[in-house]
Amino acid sequence: MNKLLLLTGLVLLLQMQLGSSFKLVCYFTNWAQYYPAPATYMPDNVDPCMCTHLIYAFATMNNNQIAPFEWNDPTLYASFNALKNYNSELKTLLSVGGWNYGTSGFNTMVSSSENRQTFINSVIKFLRQYDFDGLDIDWEYPGDSDRGSPPQTQQQFSVLLQEMHEAFVQEASQSNKPRLLMSAAVSAGKSTIQAGYQIPQLSKYLDLINVMTYDLRGSWEGFTGEDSPLFQGPADQGGYIYFNVDYAMNFWKDNGAAAEKLMVGFPAYGRTFTLSNPANNGLGAPISGAGPAAPYTQEAGFMAYFEICDFLKQDATVVWNSPQAVPYAYKGSQWIGYDNQKSFQIKAEWLMKNNFGGAMVWALPLDDFSGKFCGQGKYPLMNTLKSTLGISFPNCKTPTITVAPNTAQPATAAAPTASGSDGNSGFCVGKGNGLYPNPKNKSGFFNCLNGHTYQESCQTGLVFDSSCNCCNWA
């Protein structure tokens, strides 16, 4: 018995020294810079000592080539990837696509060898230029006719991943740099998975398979339900028995995905509903529509975790849904299905027990990153995952200086081109990456990136405000 205890102790000690084998994959969203203060979120708000992988969402595509989406993406890329200066183990990826991007761009890109090669070449150049460690593809969804993807895109997606992997291996050999990583955000719905993915092929070429095990219920169903239930509910019937984390993750694994590559999706938000009858407020209750837009995220039917904390403070009734291991809450006609620290811990313990690769979180700006809303400290959901999964970075140094957030309207500019016609081409030489006021034009500013000067200007009626590095009313 003493030998067994000693051996167990040595194993635990070794695990502590080697660190956790689980991954914590975290999405950053470039539109959170427009949330009203104090919810405004920038790369400088990211704790570099929290996640193993950070994914920047979203880039777009133009003419089968990857491209920035937001006006200031190149500046944010620099701040985002500078987080690796604090944590040498951190990996950063750039995600292309997203729900709002749709499918037509992906359909065209994968449709021919020439188009795929154009995309892959642009990705390699772009990721190396901006110091990303890999690409994340968020195509929602290949093979999904309801979303506009023809059936052949299922197989074409596999071909893209194979060709991209081969190109990444070749580029790494030629550049003598680590191979660029490949990940994809994929569906958790059984029929969507079957139509969209050749699972063994995806598992062969992807480093991370980020399963979006959330949005499993929403106001589109016509009745209340949990956003990300761990298990099937007692009242679930028909196809609804498939819409839970346990079923979705095991479906991926049982159909050919390597468990260690599968990341379980965790939502730092909830789905909201307006009840048809406030007296009927349980699971499956009829609704009249989505809940109203919350004050910060401003999207009907959606509420960030920090906004949920405010809702709960208003004498809302909280119910623990034990069969599905998640809570829900209601007040008057408003109902929300969501996750909290307790459900995050239970799911994390479940994924560890089932030997999945780790957790993926959508998204960092939705947690109470400042600690001002929930009274649970900074990043309560993220820190629950980090501690449960046993993730630590002994050599990581948390930055002590943060940049003032962008609290006003963004500047508008076309894709920046290096200035020179006005004699300011050398403005950024010797300066750090970032935005600087143009002393000759109150509405203008310079965007400095790696010593290159890009001249941009604010919308009509706005001036550049150095206090927030943003365009503001005069």
The catalytic residues are: 140
| DSSP symbols for 279-297 | T--STT-BEEEEPPPPTTT
Question: How far apart, in Å, are the Cα atoms of 46 and each of 12, 363, 433, 474?
Answer: 30, 11, 18, 30
- Exposure of 180 by Cβ count < 10 A (0-12 exposed, 13-18 middle, 19+ buried)? buried
Tell me the torsion sign for CA atoms 290, 346, 58, 31.
Answer: positive
Q: Is 352 exposed, middle or buried (0-12, 13-18, 19+ CB in 10 A)?
A: middle
DSSP SS3 for 396: coil
Whether residue 151 contacts residue 105, with contact meaning beta carbons closer than 8 Å, is answered with: no
DSSP for 402-432, please give it: -PPP--SPPP--SSP-B--TTS-TTTTTTPP
Which of 416, 423, 406, 418 is closest to 466 using CA atoms?
Answer: 406
Query: Cβ distance 349 to 388 under 8 Å?
Result: yes
Cα–Cα distance, 324 to 77 (Å, whole number): 39
Report strand pairing: 53-62 vs 65-67.
Answer: antiparallel
290 to 125, 223, 313, 377, 433: CA distances (angstroms): 42, 10, 21, 30, 42
**Rounded to an integer, what distance in angstroms lies between the CA atom of residue 437 and that of residue 421?**
18
Q: How far apart are the C-alpha atoms of 8 and 6, rounded to whole Å? A: 5
Q: Cis peptide before 57, with omega less than 30 degrees from 0?
A: no
Question: Counting runs of H as helices and runs of E as strands, what totals does the chain give?
Answer: 11, 20
Question: What DSSP designation does 219 have?
Answer: G
Q: Cα separation of 52 and 390, whole Å?
A: 12
Strands (E), 68-196: 91-97, 134-138, 181-186
Query: What is the distance between the alpha carbons of residues 68 and 157, in angstroms, rounded to a whole number?
Result: 22
Question: Residue 262 pairs with which residues in a beta bridge?
Answer: 209
